[in-house]
Amino acid sequence: NRELYLVDKNGYVVPQTLAIPTPKANETVKQTLEYLVKDGPVTNLLPNGFRAVIPANTTMTLDLKKDGTAVIDFSKEMKNYAKEEERQIVESIAWTLTQFTEIKQVQFQINGEKLAKMPVGGTPLGEGVSRANGINFDDEQVADVTNTKPVTLYFMAQNNNKQQYYVPVTRRVAEGKENDYATIIDELVKGPIHQSLLNDFNPGVKLITNPKLQDGNLTLNFNENIFVNPDKNMISNYVLKSLVLSLTEKKGVKNISIEVNGKANLIDEKGGKLIKPVDRPENVNTGSF
């Protein structure tokens, strides 16, 4: 199984885990890229409402440098896309390839020529694109990006079959005194800007103490508003998964533990006790958690 970043009906770039045939030796990365090409081998595997982004008939070669840069040389077909698809193409390729631990960033070439910017809309590519460049920015209107930092938040969406899935959204937030973990939680509680994304956090959710990171485990101590059902001390799957996915994007965070008023006696929607720390799932969207 591999994660492919595909585009949903709302234009978001979203990870979907698909069962891809076993590649030939040393061709895993190249084969994964080929599954991002429109009308390519991914066509029969696409989930409802999703599409691939690389222009049809594009071929590519791949050179993996020792410093973690993947240099992809695309054929001329790579230029055949609409301007509004450009950001999706860049993000889909960068986020799909950086799932491989040996790849830190991606450089783009067309017919052997290095691209400083994308050919249609001029999106700058610099020395390479990585996850640090963000995904699905929800704040195109921020004019002054000084004194801001990007955080990536996971919100929920659903397709026409009412299947739910998680969408990573990068938002620029003010460089405040708060630590990054508290900032991420504030932004999750505020919820998404766009109506195509859903929010299940109660508006009054607050941290009682600062988040503590120890040996990869981040402990969060909330007030009672974190409960979806206070009588049962129950937390919703959405809130739990949103927190885990968003916070484990931060370096050094492996899993999270949740307390309410300093006590760790929560249950999940299935009635199971949340005794152990909750790990990031290996794949974001597989239809199960």
Cα(191)–Cα(207) distance, integer angstroms: 16
- The DSSP secondary-structure symbol of 64 reads E
How confident is the model at residue 140, as a pLDDT?
56
Same domain as 273, residue 172? yes
- Domain span holding position 127: 2-133
Q: Are residues 127 and 180 in the same domain?
A: no
Q: Which helix (H) or strand (E) holds 14?
A: strand 13-18
pLDDT, tens digit, 9 for 90 and up, residues 234-258? 999 999 999 999 999 998 999 999 9
CA distance 158 to 162: 5
The tally of domains found in the chain comes to: 2
* pLDDT tens-digit readout, 68-127: 999 999 999 999 999 999 999 999 999 999 999 999 999 999 999 999 999 999 999 999
| Spatial contact of 82 and 88, defined as CB atoms under 8 Å apart | no
Domain presence at residue 139: no
pTM over 0.85: yes
Q: Is residue 143 part of a domain?
A: no
Indicate the range of 56-70, 142-156, 190-204 predicted with least confidence.
142-156
Residue 8 lies inside a defined structural domain of this protein: yes
Cα–Cα distance measured from residue 246 to residue 280, given in angstroms and rounded to the nearest whole number: 9
- CB atoms inside a 10 Å sphere around CB 210: 12
The token pair that represents 228 in the structure block: 């979806």
- Is residue 140, in this structure, part of any structural domain at all? no
pLDDT at position 255, please? 95
- CB burial of 138-156 (b: ≥16 within 10 Å; e: otherwise) equals beeeeeeeeeeeebbbbbb
Same domain membership, residue 266 and residue 158: yes
Alpha carbon distance 193, 208 (integer Å): 26
In-domain check, residue 185: yes
Q: Which residue has the tokens 């794949």?
A: 283
**Distance (Å, whole) CA 207 – CA 262:** 10
